[in-house]
């Protein structure tokens, strides 16, 4: 059973900083505003699952002094398709009809992988901006995950994770829930001192 407790102020600030940077970078990449609001954070000892639809898990590796640990960003498939469609400059009406797809053609898959690479770079840039020492982030691939199924992760069960949740906006489509999972590493930064 999941045991959750509130994040510290510094952990919540870290989640917000990563999502703010991600919003800026995604907006520039896809040419449409992407924002994250209602950000909350908890520490829990179980990987969270997406609910209500298939999700894409953008897997992230956090390389630090103590080795590599892993996390992910979870986005509903329909919204990952919308981001990829905007990046490919597909007309909005066509993206609307594509949002119900469950099987992706190569061009769309490639675009989602490119978005994943940007997510890794964005998270790494956010840590640099915060002057976090000794941790770099890189993208390690995507996984489609069915409703209610926890994403695969190189992870020892019951190890604490930092889990951020937010409401994301990509106009003109409905807002959606997203989850950012960070490993329980020491993110040392002068800006994150409690």
* pLDDT tens by residue, 99-142: 999 888 889 999 999 999 999 999 999 998 888 888 899 999 99
**Beta strand 55-64 pairing with 67-76:** antiparallel
* Alpha helix (H) residue ranges in the chain: 9-30, 77-87, 92-98, 106-129
**Span 25-65, pLDDT tens digits:** 999 999 999 999 999 999 999 999 999 999 999 999 999 88
User: Which of 66-70, 84-88, 111-115, 139-143 shows the lowest per-residue confidence on average (mean pLDDT)?
Assistant: 66-70
Q: Name the phi and psi angles at 39, rounded to 5.
A: -75, 130
Average pLDDT estimate for 79-105 = 94
In angstroms, rounded to a whole number, what is the distance separating the alpha carbons of residues 178 and 123?
15
Tell me the CATH architecture of domain 4-185. Answer: 3-Layer(aba) Sandwich (3.40)
pLDDT at 187 exceeding the cut of 60: yes
Asked if the model's pLDDT at residue 75 lies above 60, the reply is: yes
Domain range list for the chain = 4-185
The pLDDT assigned to 2 comes to 57
Question: pTM of the full predicted structure?
Answer: 0.92
Average pLDDT, the chain: 91
């Amino acid at each position: 059973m999941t045991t959750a407790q509130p994040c510290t102020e510094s952990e919540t600030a870290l989640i917000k900083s990563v999502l703010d940077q991600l919003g800026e970078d995604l907006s520039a990449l896809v040419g449409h505003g992407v924002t994250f609001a209602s950000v909350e954070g908890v520490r829990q000892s179980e990987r969270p699952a997406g609910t209500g639809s298939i999700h894409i898990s953008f897997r992230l590796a956090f390389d630090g002094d103590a080795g590599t640990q892993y996390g992910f960003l979870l986005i509903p498939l329909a919204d990952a398709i919308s981001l990829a469609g905007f990046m490919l400059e597909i007309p909005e009406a066509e993206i609307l009809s594509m949002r119900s797809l469950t099987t992706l053609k190569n061009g769309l898959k490639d675009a989602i992988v490119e978005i994943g690479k940007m997510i890794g770079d964005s998270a790494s840039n956010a840590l640099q901006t915060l002057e976090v020492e000794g941790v770099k982030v890189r993208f390690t691939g995507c996984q489609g995950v069915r409703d209610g199924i926890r994403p695969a992760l190189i992870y020892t069960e019951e190890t604490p994770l930092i889990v951020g949740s937010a409401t994301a906006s990509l106009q003109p489509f409905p807002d959606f829930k997203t989850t950012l999972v960070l490993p329980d590493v020491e993110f040392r930064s002068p800006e994150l001192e409690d």
